C-alpha cells in the first residue's frame, strides 16, 4: 500500500476514535463542561495534561531545536519540565482545594475584585490566543504536507474535529480525547526513536543510547563534538549563550508553564487535593517520556545527517556525498522545500559546514575548494519528520508520525480553546455581566463561546499574523509575569490585598510587554523596534525571551510593597486563604 | 477564626518540606545544569559529560522524583495532622 493511502487510514482511524469518544462523553452540566465533573483519575489526568501541554512544537520542532543548538537547547528541556515541580508544590493542591472552575475566578475572589478578575481574563486570553495560532498552523501544515490536501482544507478538518468534541463534551470530552491523543503521540514519537538508537548505538533505550558508543567504539556525543568542530561549528555539548540568559530563560519558561491557565485548570478536574499532587507527578512522568527522548532524537538524527553528507574525510576530494547518489529520503524532503541544496562550487558533491565561521570558511575555500555551505536549507522539523525514513522504517511508522503530530496539535488547541471559552462564558458573562443566568443558560453560553473561540482560532490560522513565530516568548512571558505571581501570593501571602495584586499584575504585564516590543517592534510590526535586538542594547544583557522572570520579580516586589502601605484584605478573605491551605478541615 | 496552633504547625511543616524540595530543584537544574556545567563536564559518565547530562536528562529525572516524594510526604503529613480527605 502506498504511503499516502496508509497515512489516510491511520489519520482517519485516530479521528474516528476522537469522535467516538466525543459522543460517549457528552457534558450535561456546567461542572462537567468546565472541569469534567471533578471525577478524573489522577493518572488519567496526568496523561491528559501531558497531551494538553505537549504541542505541535514539542512533537515536531523540539528535537530539531536541540539538534541545531546542542547544549543550549537544555533551557527548553528544563524550562518546560521544571514548571511542574512548581505546579505540584505551589499551585495545584491549593487551587484544587479552592475548587471552582477557572483561574480568573480564583484571582477575582481571592482579591475580592472584579477588576482583578478582568485583568486575569485579559492575560489569559492574550497568552492562550497567541499560543493557539501555532497549533492551528501545525494542523494545516500536517495535512498539506502528508495528505496532499491544501492548507485551508486541512485547517477546516482540524477545526471540525475539535468542534465536535469540544462543543459537545467541553472539558469532559477534551479530557478523554486527550488521553487517546497522548497514546497516539507518544507511540509515534518513541517507536522511531528506539529504532534510530538501536541502529546507531545498539542500545534500544534512546536515553541510554545517547550516552553510548557508535560503530567505531567512540562515544556518540564525543564523535558529534569532534565532527562539528572539524566543520567549523561550535561543540555540541558546550554552552554558547551566557549563563545569565540561560538561567533567566529557564526560569521564565518554568514559571510561565506553572502560570499557563490551560495547564492549571487541568488540576481542577481531579477528585481531591491528594489527587492533584499525585496528578502533577503523573503529568511530568508522561511528559518526561518524550522530553528525555527528544535529546537523543536530536543528537542522533543530526549525527545521521552530517554523516550522510560527509561520509569520508573532511577536505578529501571524495569525502562528500555525490548529489546524484543521495538517498531517497533526501529527495523526498527536497520536494517539500524543507531541505534544499545548491552546488556552489560545481563539484556535484554536497558540502555542509559553518560558512559563518570566517576562519574556517577561508581555510575551506583555500584548501578544499569549498565555495560556501551547500545545504542552503535544513529545516529543523526534519529531525523528527524524516527520522523514520532515515532509519528505513516501514511506511506505517511514517503514517503514525503524521497522526502523532496531529494529535499533539489538536490536544493542545482544545485545551487552550477550553481555557479561552470558559474565561468568556464563566468569568465575563456569568461573573461580571450577567450573574443572574441559570446553569442551563450558562452551559449554552459556554458551548457558544467554545464555537466562537474555534472560529477565531481558525481565522487566525488562515491569516496567521507575521509574528506567529515570536509569540511563544510572549505567551510564556505574560503568564510568568502576570498570572504566576498573583496566584502564588494569593496562596502564600495572606496579607496581600487587591490593590497590591492588581498593580503587581499590571506592572508585570506591561514591563514584559514593553521590553519585548522595544526590541522586536510594537505588536511585532517590523521597523517599529526602538533599538536593534542585540546583546549590546539589552538591559544587563537580558534577551527579550528571558524577560518574563524579571517581569515576575517586578510583579512580586510591587504587589508586596503596595500591600504593605494599604489596608489588609478583609477577614473573610484571610479565612479563605487559611482554608485552601488545608486539604480537609475537621470541625475544630 | 484565628488559625489554631495545630494548623499553623501543619503549614510550617509544609513550608519546610517545600523549601527543601525547591532547594533540590534549584541544585539539579540551575546549579548543576547551567551555573556549574563547565566544571561538571570534566567528569564523564559513560558517553555523557556530567553537566550536559544534568541539563538534558538528570534534571528531569530529579523533578519527577521530587514531585512524587513531596506528594508522599504531604499525604503522610495530612494524616499526622488529621487533615486528610476521607
Q: Compute the nearest-CA separation of B1 from chain A (Å).
A: 7
In this complex, is the C-beta atom of A220 within 8 Å of any C-beta atom belonging to chain B? yes
Do the domain assignments include residue B52? Answer: yes
Task: Tell me the C-alpha distance between B51 and B40, whole Å.
Answer: 5
A344 CB within 8 Å of a chain B CB? no
Average pLDDT over residues A99-104: 88
Q: Which of A48, A26, A378 is nearest to A170 (CA)?
A: A26
Angle between helices A42-53 and A151-201 (to 10 degrees): 110
Q: Is B43 on the interface with A (CB under 8 A)?
A: no
Query: Do residues A402 and A142 lie in contact, with contact meaning Cβ atoms separated by under 8 Å?
Result: yes
Domains located in chain A, CATH noted: 3-302+396-580 (1.20.1730.10), 304-389 (no CATH)
pLDDT digits (tens, 9 = 90+) for A532-577: 888 788 888 888 888 999 999 999 999 999 999 999 999 999 989 9
Q: Which residue is closest to B49 within chain A, CA to CA? A: A237
Does B83 contact chain A (CB < 8 Å)?
A: yes
CA–CA gap between residue A302 and residue A298 (Å, rounded): 6
Q: Residue B19 pLDDT more than 90?
A: yes
pLDDT tens digits, A58-73 = 888 889 889 999 999 9
Contact A239 B37 (CB under 8 A): yes
Q: Judge whether B7 is closer than 8 Å to chain A, CB to CB.
A: yes
- pLDDT, chain A, mean: 88
In a domain, B53, yes or no: yes
Could you tell me how many residues make up chain A?
588
**A334-345 pLDDT tens trace:** 887 788 899 988
Going by pLDDT thresholds of 50, 70 and 90, the confidence category of residue B1 is: very low
Dist. CA A307–CA A295, nearest whole Å: 18
How much is the ipTM here? 0.95
- Secondary structure of A40-92 as H, E, C letters: CCHHHHHHHHHHHHCCHHHHHHHHHHHHHHHHHHHHHHHHHHHHHHHHHHHHH
Contact A582 B10 (CB under 8 A): yes
The residue range of the domain holding B70 is 5-80
Cβ atoms A391, A143 nearer than 8 A: no
8 Å CB contact between A253 and A75: yes
Residue B18 lies in a domain: yes
Which of A476-480, B43-47, B65-69 ranks highest by mean pLDDT? B65-69
> Looking at beta carbons, which residues of chain B come within 8 Å of A96?
none
Interface of A with B in 246-305 (CB under 8 A): 246-247, 250-251, 272-274, 277-278, 280-281, 284-285, 288, 291-292, 295
Residue B34 maps to a domain:
yes
Count how many domains chain B has.
Answer: 1
In whole angstroms, what is the distance from residue A498 CA to residue A533 CA? 36
**Within-domain flag for B36:** yes
Which ranges of A87-113 does DSSP label H, i.e. alpha helix? 92-98, 103-110
Amino acid at each position: 500500500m502506498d504511503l499516502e493511502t496508509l497515512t489516510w487510514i491511520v489519520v482517519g482511524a485516530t479521528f474516528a476514535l476522537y469522535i467516538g469518544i466525543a459522543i460517549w462523553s457528552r457534558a450535561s452540566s456546567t461542572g462537567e463542561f468546565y472541569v469534567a465533573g471533578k471525577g478524573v483519575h489522577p493518572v488519567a489526568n496526568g496523561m491528559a495534561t501531558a497531551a494538553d501541554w505537549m504541542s505541535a512544537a514539542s512533537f515536531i520542532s523540539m528535537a530539531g531545536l536541540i539538534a541545531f543548538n546542542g547544549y543550549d537547547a537544555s533551557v527548553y528541556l528544563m524550562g518546560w519540565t521544571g514548571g511542574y515541580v512548581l505546579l505540584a508544590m505551589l499551585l495545584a493542591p491549593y487551587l484544587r482545594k479552592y475548587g471552582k472552575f477557572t483561574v480568573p475566578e480564583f484571582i477575582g475572589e481571592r482579591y475580592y475584585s472584579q477588576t482583578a478578575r478582568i485583568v486575569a481574563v485579559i492575560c489569559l486570553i492574550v497568552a492562550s490566543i497567541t499560543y493557539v495560532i501555532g497549533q492551528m498552523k501545525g494542523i494545516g501544515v500536517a495535512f498539506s504536507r502528508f495528505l496532499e490536501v491544501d492548507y485551508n482544507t486541512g485547517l477546516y478538518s482540524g477545526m471540525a474535529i475539535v468542534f465536535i468534541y469540544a462543543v459537545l463534551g467541553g472539558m469532559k470530552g477534551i479530557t478523554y480525547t486527550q488521553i487517546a491523543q497522548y497514546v497516539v503521540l507518544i507511540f509515534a514519537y518513541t517507536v522511531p526513536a528506539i529504532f534510530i538508537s538501536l541502529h546507531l548505538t545498539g542500545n534500544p533505550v534512546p536515553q541510554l543510547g545517547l550516552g553510548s558508543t557508535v560503530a567505531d567504539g567512540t562515544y556518540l556525543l564525543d564523535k558529534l563534538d569532534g565532527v562539528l568542530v572539524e566543520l567549523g561549528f561550535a561543540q555540541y555539548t558546550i554552552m554558547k549563550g551566557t549563563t545569565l540568559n540561560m538561567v533567566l530563560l529557564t526560569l521564565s519558561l518554568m514559571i510561565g508553564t506553572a502560570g499557563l491557565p490551560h495547564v492549571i485548570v487541568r488540576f481542577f478536574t481531579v477528585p481531591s487535593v491528594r489527587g492533584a499532587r499525585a496528578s502533577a507527578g503523573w503529568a511530568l512522568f508522561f511528559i518526561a517520556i518524550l522530553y528525555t527522548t527528544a535529546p537523543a532524537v536530536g543528537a542522533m538524527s543530526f549525527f545521521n545527517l552530517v554523516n550522510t553528507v560527509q561520509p569520508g574525510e573532511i577536505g578529501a576530494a571524495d569525502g562528500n556525498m555525490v548529489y546524484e547518489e543521495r538517498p531517497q529520503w533526501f529527495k523526498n524532503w527536497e520536494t517539500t522545500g524543507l531541505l534544499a541544496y545548491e552546488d556552489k562550487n560545481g563539484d556535484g558533491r554536497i558540502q555542509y559546514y559553518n560558512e559563518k565561521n570566517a576562519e574556517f570558511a577561508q581555510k575551506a575555500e583555500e584548501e578544499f575548494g569549498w565555495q560556501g555551505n551547500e545545504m542552503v536549507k535544513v529545516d529543523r522539523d526534519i529531525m523528527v519528520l524524516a527520522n523514520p525514513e532515515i532509519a528505513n522504517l516501514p511506511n506505517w511508522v511514517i503514517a503514525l508520525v503524521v497522526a502523532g503530530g496531529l494529535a499533539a496539535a489538536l490536544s493542545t488547541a482544545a485545551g487552550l480553546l477550553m481555557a479561552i471559552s470558559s474565561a468568556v462564558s464563566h468569568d465575563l458573562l456569568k461573573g461580571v455581566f450577567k450573574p443572574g443566568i441559570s446553569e442551563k443558560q450558562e452551559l449554552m453560553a459556554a458551548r457558544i463561546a467554545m464555537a466562537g473561540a474555534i472560529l477565531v482560532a481558525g481565522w487566525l490560522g488562515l491569516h496567521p499574523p507575521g509574528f506567529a513565530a515570536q509569540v511563544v516568548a510572549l505567551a510564556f512571558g505574560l503568564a510568568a509575569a502576570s498570572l504566576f505571581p498573583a496566584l502564588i501570593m494569593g496562596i502564600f501571602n495572606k496579607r496581600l490585598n487587591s490593590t497590591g495584586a492588581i498593580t503587581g499584575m499590571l506592572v508585570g504585564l506591561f514591563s514584559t510587554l514593553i521590553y519585548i516590543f522595544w526590541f522586536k517592534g510594537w505588536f511585532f510590526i517590523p521597523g517599529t523596534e526602538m533599538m536593534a535586538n542585540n546583546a549590546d542594547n539589552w538591559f544587563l544583557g537580558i534577551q527579550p525571551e528571558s524577560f518574563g522572570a524579571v517581569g515576575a520579580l517586578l510583579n512580586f516586589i510591587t504587589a508586596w510593597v503596595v500591600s504593605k502601605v494599604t489596608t489588609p484584605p478583609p477577614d473573610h478573605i484571610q479565612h479563605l486563604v487559611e482554608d485552601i491551605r488545608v486539604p480537609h478541615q475537621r470541625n475544630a | 477564626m484565628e488559625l489554631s496552633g495545630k494548623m499553623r504547625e501543619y503549614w510550617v511543616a509544609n513550608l519546610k518540606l517545600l523549601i527543601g524540595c525547591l532547594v533540590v530543584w534549584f541544585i539539579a537544574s540551575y546549579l548543576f545544569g547551567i551555573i556549574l556545567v563547565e566544571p561538571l563536564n570534566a567528569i564523564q559518565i559513560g558517553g555523557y559529560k556530567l553537566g550536559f547530562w544534568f541539563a538534558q536528562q538528570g534534571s528531569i529525572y530529579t523533578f519527577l522524583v521530587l514531585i512524587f516524594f513531596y506528594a508522599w510526604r504531604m499525604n503522610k503529613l495530612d494524616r499526622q495532622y488529621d487533615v486528610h480527605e476521607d
